Amino acid sequence: MRINLTGVKWLMSPNQQEKETIVILDYGSQFSMLIARRVREAGVYSELVPWDTSPAALSNLNIKGFILSGGPASVYGSDAPTLPSFVIDSGLPILGICYGMQLLAKHYGAEVASASAREYGPALIQQTGKTHPLFFNLPAAMEVWASHGDNVQQLPDGFTLLAESENAPIVAIANAHNHVGIQFHPEVVHTPAGTQLIENFLFRIAQCDGNWDSSSFINETVTAIRAQVGQGLVICGLSGGVDSAVAAGLVHEAVGEQLTCIFVDNGLLRHAEAQQVVDTFREHMGMKLIHVNARSEFLADLEGITDPETKRIRIGEKFIRIFEKETENLGKVDFLVQGTLYPDVIESAASGNSAAAKIKTHHNVGGLPKDMTLTLIEPLRNLFKDEARNVGRTLGISSEIIDRQPFPGPGLAIRIIGEVNESRLDILRRADWILQEELLRTGEINNLWQAFAVLTNTKTVGVQGDYRTYGEVVAIRCITAEDAMTADWAKLPYEVLATVSSRITNEVQEVNRVVYDITSKPPGTIEWE
């Protein structure tokens, strides 16, 4: 089915019609991004789009099938998201997950109603008869993860019951048109056989080939960038992190000397980071690099600001204004490259999906000024962090860059709760440096997705050198994750935590208390602001 994403800038490739794609309609599930990830891990390209995306917006895609995500709504609600008619009319395979299954059932005439007991957590399902391709090579009884309050009350017209559970007698269904529904979540790790089930849908039902990888992504994206840029000049806002480095590498591969990277020292970086970034990129990347010291400008814009959303917006706008100013000496620059990733877009709810909640504004998404004069190129906008890293490795970017821990564009400004100024930045830098030193010394850094210190907006009474003190509280945040959409707090050895705490309270005079954040994501986010 070829349905053009004309005007939708988060899809760049002109070769989409040659690339098999699974379209995932997002109904607001917290797991929607995981569905996209699992499909891509299987070697099939996927696009996660709002459920109400028009068919015209999908016309340049070689769609092999649709997946309907879960969601928090009830299909019988007056304002509930619906199943677009073009999805059914396409004649393509459909996998409905949780709310998606309920939509399928409702479309085919079955009743969906509130269950007598909400099912949340592990459940055991049992296949009911002859094995369906969806359950190929899977055991008759499977542990799955459920999260729903509604149930399908009877089989829809033309459907066969595939599996049942104690709490949901109708837990998996299918019809002769390859429309399949499941009342559980195969995309989460708590469904051990979930990956196999998704692959069964992709390869045994949707008949995908599974030939998408980082190399094909690079070829498609480079071609798209060349077509978009032509002979124009491009700048890249280089932060020193993985995302901007890989984005710069892709664009440099496409347009070479037409690209100039601009590294802005915003005064919100970690200890000695500015010079490290400049040295690393000039040595390893071989690109034109302009280094701008804008510390005073950023701090002036943040003076008196305590609201985190305002911080992000001001930082995002200041970056753009500096980029625009720097282009005056380069000639007519038309394009700005950013290392925006898929999670940034989702958390900022920038897709327009009415079913998705905005978690926080990312400075490079929702923080951009509406009157900016540069056209954005965001080649990583549809990738997860690990996918971006794989692209970087394929491009030959140094491991020194690729393996760096994620660091937010707004920098330490969102790791300081409350107002940002030089003195508070100095406190946080010193505390964070101690944490990094100890994690590196002990080797624990290798087990972490991210580790950092937070300067809280709290002071406590302490005793230091036999004197009463009223000092700052520093929080330590160390997490493990696969893709940053979900994360768990790291179970660091007590002796490591004790050493970090002792060093910070002894070496950073202003701090008299250190706490360790043991909150997972969700309910928390990775960063505090």
The catalytic site residues sit at 98, 185, 187
Written as six digits, the tokens of 82 are 């619906």
**How many beta carbons lie within 10 A of that of residue 223, not counting itself?**
15
Cβ burial 14-53 (10 Å sphere, 16+ → b, else e): ebbeebbbbbbbbbbbbbbbbbbbbbbebbbbbbbbbbeb
- DSSP-based three-state secondary structure for 311: helix
Handedness of CA 431, 435, 436, 438 (dihedral sign): positive
Whether the ω angle into residue 169 lies within 30 degrees of 0, i.e. cis, is no
CA nearest neighbour of 250 among 212, 287, 211: 287
DSSP string, 502-521: HHHHHHSTTEEEEEE----B
- Measure the CA–CA gap between 495 and 505, rounded to whole angstroms: 15
- DSSP character at residue 358: P
- Measure the CA–CA gap between 220 and 420, rounded to whole angstroms: 42
**How many beta carbons lie within 10 A of that of residue 290, not counting itself?**
15
Amino acid at 383: L
Beta strands per DSSP E along 128-199: 141-152, 159-165, 172-175, 179-182
- Measure the CA–CA gap between 338 and 32, rounded to whole angstroms: 24
Q: Do 371 and 332 touch, CB atoms closer than 8 A? A: no
